[in-house]
Chain A
């Protein structure tokens, strides 16, 4: 089965600094990878996805992610963090039957 791992429970970044939220994947075949964001007591919002093509994927709200096949990683990045970026971020992978399997999530705190 496909899976993703998010090694960090929490990431703290000062406002204006670049941020990275890590994700590694384990898949058989070509990976379909996603990043979602969740604000308190809300559903998930889609940020970006990688299916094929360029390794650098640009998404919503200035976020981007880099697909690295050799390192089996799909880290989420943003050049300059905003306080409003503080939220819970999920890396996810598409499994058989069109199911989406999520990582455990990483809580991002942007410090003013």
Chain B
């Protein structure tokens, strides 16, 4: 079945640095990808919709300058957490829909960010 890959799966960084998380659709093209954030023992919060070749659409309350999203190709979207702070520590998950086959939404394995 379709696979969505995220990298890195775990990252630890110092406060003030920027971290990039990649989301790739491995065997299908995704014009749209979604980025979610999951706090401990909580649900997934949709952060933004990543659109290939255009600007991402951010959900209310999500800082677009803090969470930069780039969707430069049909198989890759990146989330960059800029000037990270400890409160940005979280589990970030991306998803993409395989319209070419089943139309199902597939999720990456997630990336755990820890900001020291």
A: which residues have CB within 8 A of B?
34, 36, 41-46, 90, 97-105
List chain A residues, Cβ under 8 A from B32: 98
Cβ of A41 to closest chain B Cβ, rounded Å: 7
For the A-B complex, the count of residue pairs with Cβ-Cβ distances under 8 Å equals 45
List chain A residues, Cβ under 8 A from B67: none
Contact residues of B: prevailing secondary structure: strand
B: which residues have CB within 8 A of A?
4, 6, 32, 34, 42-44, 46, 49, 57, 91, 93, 95, 97, 104-110, 112
List chain A residues, Cβ under 8 A from B6: 43
List chain B residues, Cβ under 8 A from A43: 4, 6, 93, 107-110
List chain A residues, Cβ under 8 A from B110: 41-43
23 A-B residue contacts at CB 8 Å? A34-B105, A36-B107, A41-B91, A41-B112, A42-B109, A42-B110, A43-B6, A43-B108, A43-B109, A44-B44, A44-B93, A44-B107, A46-B104, A46-B105, A46-B107, A90-B43, A98-B32, A98-B97, A99-B34, A99-B46, A100-B34, A100-B105, A102-B44
